[in-house]
Structure formats: structure tokens, C-alpha cells
Amino acid sequence: DLATALNERGQVRYLRVEFAAACQPGFEVPYYNRGLVRYRLGDFDEAMKDFRKVLELNPQFEDAALSLKQAILDKEAKQKRGY
């Protein structure tokens, strides 16, 4: 289906390190995947934006809710350490 095809295209772009092009509006999984990339890069603010977008599109996406909470905690810890 279309959502699967778009997600696969996003994954290919992720593997090619084309992060900005990896997301299609309206599908929560690509936003979640991009949020994970941004989180792993330490870009917590942008990761949180992506996780919030996922939850806007699908409030029942539990992994996004957990990832958002973790990004918030990690950002706070980073700020306390002075980075």
C-alpha cells in the first residue's frame, strides 16, 4: 500500500543519509523514524517535534510517547551537565 511504499522510500533515504527528504507529511511512521535519528544525533528539540507530530497524527502510538518522554529527560540531563 501507499504508506508502506512511502515508509520504505524513507528508509532508503535514511540509509543514504538524506534525512531531510526521508519524511512524507501525513504518515506517522516516517516522522517517528526521523525522530529516532534526530534523537540519536543528540538533536533532542527536533526529535521532540517529530515525536509530537507522530502523536498528533496517531495519539495511540505508544513508542512515540515513550520516545518523547525519554528525549525530554535526556535534554534535561544534558542541560544539567552544562552541554
**pLDDT one digit per residue (tens) for the chain, 83 residues:** 666 776 777 777 777 766 565 555 567 888 898 899 999 999 999 999 999 999 999 999 999 999 999 999 999 999 999 87
- Quick one: pLDDT at residue 50? 94
Distances (CA, A) of 23 to 30, 77, 82: 5, 28, 32
- Quick one: pLDDT at residue 83? 74
- Give residue 19's identity as a one-letter amino acid code: F
Where does residue 42 fall: left (phi above 0), alpha (psi -120 to 50 degrees), or beta otherwise?
Answer: left
Whole-structure pTM value: 0.70
Domains of the chain: 13-82 (1.25.40.10)
- Quick one: pLDDT at residue 72? 97
